[in-house]
Amino acid sequence: MDSTELIQKFLQDRLGTAPESIVPGARLVDLGLDSLMLAELMFEAEDRFAISIPSDLQMPNTVGDMTALIDTLLASKASAS
C-alpha cells in the first residue's frame, strides 16, 4: 500500500467519500476531514509506514499535500537506513 492508497482507503472507510472525489487537488476539508479526522489520518500513516510526522509541520490542505508529506517522510526514512 502506498500513500495514495492509504489516503483513499481512509477517506472511503471512515467518511464514505466517493473514490472519484479523492483527487490530488481536492481540499481535505471539502472531503469532510476535520482536524480530528486529519490527526487520525496522520496517526494511521505513522503506524502503517513506521514514520513520524513532526507536530511542527504545516498541516496539509489537499489530498496532494498529504500524499507529498507522507512520501517525503518515507523518502527521508529510506535514505536514513
- Look up residue 35 and give its three cell numbers: 482536524
Q: What is the pTM of this model?
A: 0.91
DSSP code for 21: G
Q: Per-residue confidence of the chain (81 residues) as pLDDT tens digits?
A: 899 999 999 999 999 999 999 999 999 999 999 999 999 999 999 999 999 998 898 889 999 999 999 999 999 988 987
Q: What pLDDT score was predicted for residue 57?
A: 85
Does residue 62 sit in helix, strand or coil?
A: strand
Q: How far is CA 62 from the centre of its chain?
A: 9
Q: Both ends of the chain: CA-CA distance in Å?
A: 20
Q: What pLDDT score was predicted for residue 25?
A: 97
